[in-house]
Amino acid sequence: MKTPAADIDPGILERFESFIKEKGLRRTGQRDVIVAAAFSTDSHFTAEDLWEMARKIDPSTSRATLYRTLSLLTESGLLQEIDLGRDQKYYDPNFVEHPNHNHLICLDCGTVIEFSDENMAVIEDCVTRRLGFSSVRKDIRIEARCEEFRTSGHCKRGKK
């Protein structure tokens, strides 16, 4: 039988493994299932979404392990907590590959578009240096109207 670890990007697995080792923890089958689920998608997800994805791999995944593993993943920087302007917290698995991306969000349908722009990085650098800081993390969210919203006043797409 294939283990969940077989589906995880080896780079991610390596970083996760060395992070939890430093904390005196070990990889377990349950943790691997959650890591595999978290990086099986390019979409942003809530803890609840992740639980459903994990349970598709292993129906016995417990909520307790889910929350513990989720905080290990965010602490290690593999997963980033992002604010999409909604009631729930969202997690973003795409920062590992695209560390400088930002989010453009349609105010009506909730469609989230990831983008990166070199000018943003320049501005971030200028502002932080000018104020004597050095940037560690940024999370830029632009709330906007998508084309459909602009032209027809609403959009039919579902929230993502």
> Which residues lie near Zn ion (CB under 5 A)?
92, 94, 106, 108-109, 114, 146, 149, 155
Supply the minimum distance, in Å, between the C-beta of residue 12 and Zn ion: 16
The nearest distance, CB 111 to Zn ion, in angstroms, is 5
Least distance (Å) between residue 48 CB and Zn ion: 18
Closest contact distance (angstroms) between CB of 130 and Zn ion is 27
Element at 102 (helix H, strand E): strand 102-106
Long-range contacts of 95-104 (CB under 8 A, 24+ apart): 96/9, 96/11, 96/12, 96/39, 102/138, 102/139, 102/140, 102/141, 102/142, 103/140, 103/141, 103/142, 104/142, 104/144
Nearer to Zn ion, 3 or 41 (CB): 41
